[in-house]
Structure 1
């Protein structure tokens, strides 16, 4: 995604959309104390520069599906082709190139309740340039999901402003039954993936239904916790110049303690207990090397039960939750 200089209004919009990706611009303007036109102008500027995008996410905990974190080791010269190929798949998200230079990290997640997923690992084994593959099945997500990274970072809103938006944001109930997949849901997810803020009229046209029906379906999926929205932007826009991924080994007796510690640190944007050679994975956003050192030495260093930590800075992110951005045409 694009990198531009964000001002205070831009940061407030990003934070507001992370609380509720479909909140009306008028509501954001009210909370920020600016005009509707100001919010719309800033949002359009960020969108025009590919600096922000609202995308839908399926909560796999509600649909009963499984996600995997894959670490793909590539031959020198094959990294770009492998990463691009993974990024084009609809069942793959979060495609990173790691600082090791020959490693690509990605997450598999079905893009909607009707996608069962497929044997990606078997297909990768036949891809030219792939040397080795580590697979980690997600057992428990500790950080991530509907409460996502920019809310935790508190980047643009005061506590009172954030609370005002949280009070009126749609609430999901885990007691609600998970809705069955229906005709039109595939088209609905596809349209939202292109623009998570698409109007209900646009969604209705994509699904071949009425505007009221499209609204009811989105509201039902959100209230059941199946669907939520995230706002995507380059962390550099927000002052985080050193994203990194950590592969940890934690003694089973210490998993709960480590989970509490990492969940309390705002630099952690994803954490999960997984299967595999490393049983606890973290994604962190740090401002610089000193910030990353502080996290490793102090936040993690004070916890008993962590027996090994491998840190791999992320040098490039090709894809996040939404579709891989299309290359921009040169003028």
Structure 2
């Protein structure tokens, strides 16, 4: 994604979209005490530069999908080809290059408890330059998903956060999950290009009326199936070091680790998992000293963590939204 210098209004808009990716600009302007035109101008600048993007995400807890983290080890010359191949798959998200540029990690989702496609595993196993593959089934996500990141305050006051949160859709898990219908594929494709696409444009993409597509989006959001996330580079928020941690935790300590991880503002993703490491976490840190403090102090305060492998994230090639296009890694 693009990298620009955000000012105070940019950060406040980003924070607002993190709470509700489709919040009307007029509502954001009212909460920020600025004009609608100001919000629109700042948003268009960030969007046009590629610095932010609002994307739709389905909640796997509601859709019955199982999420897997894949860790692919490659010879250095094969990393770009493997990453580009994975990035083109619509079922792959959070594609990142790890360590010294010899590992690729991604998330994929499967229906039910089965592995994410014997097809994907077989393809990776046959891919030139792949020398190892590890697969981790996510058992319980404790940080990440359809909730606002509870990290450092991005740009809003607590009162502003409260005002936007109260106005945002509040999903109900008491309502049955709606069945998929004709037009959903076109709806999600249009939203994937831009999560803030107008209802009029969505209606044209789906071949239906504006009122019908509005009701469909509201139903999917209201039942917790669909939520929106705003994407931006961590560097835009002042985070100079991103890392992924692979932890081995005694079963009796899993809840304690989950509690510590969920409470630390540097953690953007944390989950118990199957595999060689049974607890995974992704962190955003200001610098190496900040990462050291997280490992030594936050994790070090918990009894039962037997080992921690830390891999810096060299580059994020794809988040939840579509890959911006095949390109060579920097």
- Give me the TM-score of the superposition, normalised by structure 2: 0.96
Pairing of 1:1-331 with structure 2 (within 5 A): 1-109=1-109, 118-119=117-118, 120-149=120-149, 151-326=150-325
SS, match of residue 326 in structure 1: coil
SS, match of residue 40 in structure 2: helix
Name which of structure 1's ranges 92-101 and 273-282 shifts more when overlaid on structure 2.
92-101
Residues 165, 186 of structure 1: alpha-carbon distance in 2 compared, 3 angstrom cutoff: same
> Is the contact between residue 248 and residue 278 of structure 1 (CA under 8 Å) also seen in structure 2?
yes
Aligned-partner Cα distance in 2 for 1:280–1:117: 19
SS, match of residue 285 in structure 1: strand
> Is the contact between residue 148 and residue 269 of structure 1 (CA under 8 Å) also seen in structure 2?
no
Q: What are structure 1's unaligned runs of at least 5 residues?
A: none
Cα displacement (A) at 1:161: 0.6
> Is the contact between residue 68 and residue 116 of structure 2 (CA under 8 Å) also seen in structure 1?
no
- Give me the TM-score of the superposition, normalised by structure 1: 0.95
> Is the contact between residue 251 and residue 305 of structure 1 (CA under 8 Å) also seen in structure 2?
yes
Aligned-partner Cα distance in 2 for 1:196–1:237: 20
Aligned-partner Cα distance in 1 for 2:8–2:259: 32
Q: What are structure 2's unaligned runs of at least 5 residues?
A: none
**Residue deviations 1:121-154, cap 9 Å, x none?**
12211111111100001111111111143x5332
Aligned-partner Cα distance in 2 for 1:163–1:291: 29
Aligned-partner Cα distance in 1 for 2:153–2:77: 39
**Residue deviations 1:41-86, cap 9 Å, x none?**
0000001110000000000011111010000000121111111111
SS, match of residue 72 in structure 1: strand
> Is the contact between residue 91 and residue 117 of structure 1 (CA under 8 Å) also seen in structure 2?
no
Corresponding residue pairs, total: 324
Cα displacement (A) at 1:117: 5.8
> Is the contact between residue 58 and residue 226 of structure 1 (CA under 8 Å) also seen in structure 2?
yes
Cα displacement (A) at 1:270: 0.4
> Is the contact between residue 55 and residue 229 of structure 1 (CA under 8 Å) also seen in structure 2?
yes
Aligned-partner Cα distance in 1 for 2:232–2:86: 20
Aligned-partner Cα distance in 1 for 2:185–2:116: 14
**Residue deviations 1:280-306, cap 9 Å, x none?**
000001111111111001000010010
Aligned-partner Cα distance in 1 for 2:63–2:156: 32
CA RMSD of aligned residues (A): 1.5
Moved over 6 A (4+): none
Cα displacement (A) at 1:237: 0.3
**Residue deviations 1:211-268, cap 9 Å, x none?**
0000000000001000000000001000011010000000000001110110001111
SS, match of residue 15 in structure 1: helix
